[in-house]
Chains A and B, each alone.
Chain A
Amino acid sequence: MKRVYVNEAWCLGCHLCEYNCAFANSGLSDMVLALKGRPIRPRIRVEEGDRITYAVSCRHCTDPICVKSCIAGAISKAEGVVRIDRTRCVGCLTCVLVCPYGALAPGEDGAMQKCELCLQNACGAPACVAGCPNRAIVYEERGEAE
């Protein structure tokens, strides 16, 4: 299955992926209306370490611990994509407690949100990838890292 991967060496740490993510998932067609003057809640986030930056989002794990841990049965995996049924989520944060990648966080309404590869929104493919100015983020098929 195709997933989102980030090349640390190419990531500029510009945070554009975070803005593109928040916009893509806002359901709005105007970026200014979607983002201006409000805290953004992107499903990808740029991490900064010792002289490196890179973006982290859901790994869509082979055996996702969030799916088995969700107390509301709200997280499932189908066709390689881990999704949340936000109408069932009660905001208990158990998924936050277990995700080894820190890839889930509450949305504005308190229900959890995470990267769903933009497959359900108007983009149809990851907006973080399309908008990365240095092509540091890619959407491709890989096996396990050797």
Chain B
Amino acid sequence: MKRYVIVGNGVAAAGCIEGIRSADPEGAVTVVSAEKHAVYCRPLISYYLEGKTDPERMRYRDPGFYERMGAEVLYGRRGVGIDAAAGTLALDDGSVLPYDALCIATGSSPFVPAFEGLDSVKNRFTFMTLDDAMALDRAVRKDSRVLIVGAGLIGLKCAEGLRDRTAEVTVCDLADRILSSILDGECAALMQRRLEEHGIRFLLGDSAVRFAGCEATMRSGATVPFDILVLAVGVRANTSLMKEAGGAVDRGILVDSRMQTSIPGVYAAGDCTEGEDISSGKRRVLAILPNASFQGYTAGVNMAGGSAVFDKGIPMNSVGFFGLHAMTAGTYEGDIYEERTDHSLKRLYTEGGLLKGFLLIGCEERAGIYTSLIRERTPLSSVNFELLKKGAVTAAFSPEQRRKKFGGEV
């Protein structure tokens, strides 16, 4: 009987368990879970703050999942060392788990810069886990002034989640625009306007450098008083297990399309990995839930002796604030087709006869048709791209393509 060990208990781990079981109903599966929760929907923690969901509905799988899958979960435990030669994983309680195949699905952690005086701030939080969200939920009062450092996805979703619960939400970022990793200035401005209309305050191009109790001093010299501080500067892939074992690591654990790492028998999946972004041809950390799910399943199948590849990784995000959605996918390179109104913006990026990326704000209908063109690397010469510029429609495909898509099972 094969022994499978998964380090981490997020979406990639759940996918991995399911992948293993698709190929091996017998083997022993052990999951090492640092968090004391069954797998949950991490991106929903801001909706939890907002009161739109609760821990029960945030479960990623039903309560009988692990039992049905025959997986044992060690809650509150961490993997601390891999002995690849012996095929063992050491845990933080001193125990050792032998494995035939190991999957590292350790996710990422908030990056907290060494701000001067940070220890003097009593009410400080990061925003990454359900426990983080619950702690913040308990701390926030109707009259709290909240300062969020970081105007990325995590910081802004936190801001949205808290907005109606508290007096004041201010977000600062050293970058001159919000969501700087996925939006350019113009698109960011559209989203920022929506957030501001709902009462979120911004301090951009300026960030906190020093803290003293309930006051932040900004780079510009301005001071910002607050009651609650949320640090959402960025995240780092949790790669230390792999690094210490001598495996290949860059910004994430390097994996091939089978989710195999540089160490035989060791796989990795999810936010801790760095794989290929097929839209740019470059390696990237694609820390998004869908990729964690695809990668986890792929790793599991291969760990169990099956054969699966995931070679369609691209960055993609659907992010909405107060009803305005921005959808982004792929890479922003090449020729641009653009359409805009006062409240919407569409940009399609093409290069070498392929759709490489897009950016849609306020016009997200059926966007997956565009995404599939990127993922499938569909030659634009084979479709009616003029029609696709106007809107995402399958009628732009050739009769032969339509017959394949709609004439039988897919």
Measuring CB to CB, which residues of chain A are less than 8 angstroms from any residue of chain B?
A: 1, 3, 5-6, 8, 47-50, 52, 54, 56, 59, 61-62, 65, 68-69, 71-73, 87-88, 90-102, 104-105, 142-146
Contact = CB atoms under 8 A, between A and B. Distances in A.
B396 A87 contact: no
Contacts of A48: 395
B325 interface: yes
B44 A97 contact: no
A12 B404 CA distance: 21
Interface residues of B, number: 51
B41 A71 contact: yes
Interface in B335-375: 364-369, 371-372
7 contacts: A5-B406, A93-B318, A98-B290, A99-B369, A105-B366, A143-B409, A145-B405
A98 to B, nearest CB: 5
A101 B370 CA distance: 10
Contact of B406 (A6, A72, A92, A146): A6
Interface stretch (B52-60, B93-101, B234-242): B52-60
Contact of B409 (A62, A88, A102): A62
Q: Is the interface of B mostly helix, strand, loop or mixed?
A: mixed
Given A59-B410, A91-B320, A145 B404 contact: yes
Interface in B356-410: 364-369, 371-372, 376, 384, 387, 392-396, 399, 402-410
Contact of A72 (B41, B290, B293): B41
Given A47-B395, A144-B409, A87 B15 contact: no
Nearest to B59: A73
B404 A96 contact: no
A53 to B, nearest CB: 8
B410 A144 contact: yes
A96 B364 contact: yes
Given A68-B290, A98-B316, A3 B409 contact: yes
Given A62-B410, A69-B289, A144-B408, A92 B384 contact: no
B294 interface: yes
B43 A97 contact: no
A62 B294 CA distance: 15
B332 interface: no
Contacts of B395: 47-50, 52, 54
Contacts of B399: 8
A76 to B, nearest CB: 9
A105 B245 CA distance: 46
